[in-house]
Structure 1
Amino acid sequence: MVVRALSFGAVAEAYERFRPGYPVELLDLVTAYAGAPIRTALEIGAGTGKATRLFAQGGIAVTATDPDAAMLAELRKHLPANVTTVQAAFEDLPTDSSYELVYSAAALHWTNPEGRWARMATLVRPGGVFASFGGPVELADPALKEAARAARAPYLETDGVPSPDGTPADRPMQWPGTELEQSDWFTDVRQSVIERHLTMSAHDYIGQLSTISAYVMLPAADRDQVFRRILQVLPETVEINAEITAHLARRHH
């Protein structure tokens, strides 16, 4: 699992180039939930800073943390002045500072479940907000989705990240909301979905896939073969469903 979490450094530039950024609706959602201006935030698993930019543009002083030096080097190329970077895994972060907002964009599943919420609670100020958000970037057309799945199948059974706590996909509350609801430190757990539809070239879609850990972990020859096979079944331009599921919770006073 650790190997997989650190596999992104090798693809930091592709990650920056191909992963979609986050829409302003997400900042609005978190701000509205907070109910007061957010001045300080800690980001867990910042990567190349896709979400960092959104929150920094909202005037928030962000401390962006990531265990991977290559990811942070890429992040620093695009950095607003109100961002501090710290190279550290969530488990190694000092707990002597707390923040009005602690958030993680598509990275929380890489953190160690052991003591996760107790540690999180030391980082979020009482009354402060925890937010987690992300979601798969998927082909919108079911027929194309199936064709791509069949093309990849000999090499890769699934390319998704399974639910970390095994919550079935049809349950109304998904992870990490499920864990937050059971935590002693957090309350008022909410799940929201922000619809998002994108159009991109098939090549950019493959570029996006090249940043997903399931593909990163394949031997290079297999990976090239998979991408070639998927490209063969796609038209030049593809419609993408990239909805974002956000989970919000408040730290008990």
Structure 2
Amino acid sequence: MSTRALSFGAIAEAYERFRPGYPEELFDLVLAYAGRPVRTALEIGAGTGKATRLFAAHGVAVTATEPDAAMLTELRKTVPANVTTVRAAFEDLRPGKTYGLVYAAAALHWTRPESRWSSVAALLDPEGVVASFGGPVQLADPAVEEAVQAARAPFLESDEVPSPDGTAPDEAMQWPGTELQRSQFFLDVQQSVIKRRLTMSAPDYVGYLSTVSAYLQLPQSRRQQAYEAITRILPGTVEIAADIIVHLARRRSE
């Protein structure tokens, strides 16, 4: 687990406040793919519980794993009784109990590629399902996006997390679907997109940026200067494109 992956704990409350949650459509998509009730799930990198709450609300017994104590503290404030929390990085989990679903919400790219899929497979029931979902939160208006990039440029060239396997943004199959297709452990790889548009106030959008790892790597003074520069050029409210890219696959039978 990288230092960048563990940078979120200091801003756990902001993460919970400003990051968008996940819609009912996501649960419906996972359930339809599974083709049977999902009763147990293990979540990788649960953060403050944005996705945890969605699955737990549908009666799934979720084991939410998260290496950062501050993030787990925030998660525990809001999750129901059918959620078990474990402070651990994914790499530190030991196979034993298996689950009908293993999922990650904007967290899988922080795990180690060399053991990622064998570890997921070991935690799944026979023919269990793996789900990974997330996506960039982007300004929908190209003119506003261009102005923000110009304001950000003196401090940060890009705030995006590059594809872990180098897949280009215009490829039909995106990561981690690309890795799942190559994996000996999984089959029936499916990629879906849940279209989503949100409206945020300018302060809330800057609040969202305060939870993005690229900004968190900046020295605090530079980070604050970047936020102020962006705030100066934003309109009062902004439209956000926050599409959710969902990858699903089934564990290959032994």
TM-score class normalised by the smaller sequence = over 0.9
Partner of 2:109 in structure 1? 109
| CA distance in 2: counterparts of 1:18 and 1:35, whole angstroms | 33
Partner of 2:43 in structure 1? 43
| CA distance in 1: counterparts of 2:5 and 2:168, whole angstroms | 23
What is the one-letter code of the residue matched to 1:199? T
What secondary structure sits across from 1:94 in the alignment?
A: coil
CA-to-aligned-CA distance 1:162-191 (integer Å, 9 cap, x gap): 000001111100000000001011000000
Please state how far the C-alpha of 1:46 moved relative to its aligned partner. Answer: 0.1
- Misfit runs of 4+, over 3 Å: none
CA-to-aligned-CA distance 1:13-70 (integer Å, 9 cap, x gap): 0000000100000000000000000000000000000000000011100000011010
| CA distance in 2: counterparts of 1:238 and 1:230, whole angstroms | 12
What secondary structure sits across from 1:7 in the alignment?
A: helix
| CA distance in 1: counterparts of 2:55 and 2:201, whole angstroms | 28
Partner of 2:210 in structure 1? 210
What is the one-letter code of the residue matched to 1:234? L
Partner of 1:82 in structure 2? 82
Partner of 1:134 in structure 2? 134
Structure 2 unaligned blocks of 5 or more: none
What secondary structure sits across from 1:6 in the alignment?
A: helix
Partner of 2:123 in structure 1? 123
**1:188-207 paired onto structure 2 within 5 Å:** 188-207=188-207
| CA distance in 2: counterparts of 1:56 and 1:24, whole angstroms | 12
Percentage identity across paired residues of the two chains:
70
Partner of 1:24 in structure 2? 24
CA-to-aligned-CA distance 1:92-141 (integer Å, 9 cap, x gap): 01211110000000000000111211111101111110000001111100
| CA distance in 1: counterparts of 2:130 and 2:116, whole angstroms | 12
Partner of 1:3 in structure 2? 3
What secondary structure sits across from 1:130 in the alignment?
A: strand
| CA distance in 2: counterparts of 1:102 and 1:131, whole angstroms | 6
| CA distance in 1: counterparts of 2:14 and 2:124, whole angstroms | 32
Q: How many pairs align?
A: 253
How large is the RMSD of aligned CA atoms in angstroms? 0.7
Partner of 2:97 in structure 1? 97
What secondary structure sits across from 1:41 in the alignment?
A: strand
Q: Does 1:182 align with 2:169?
A: no
What is the one-letter code of the residue matched to 2:75? L
What is the one-letter code of the residue matched to 1:191? Q
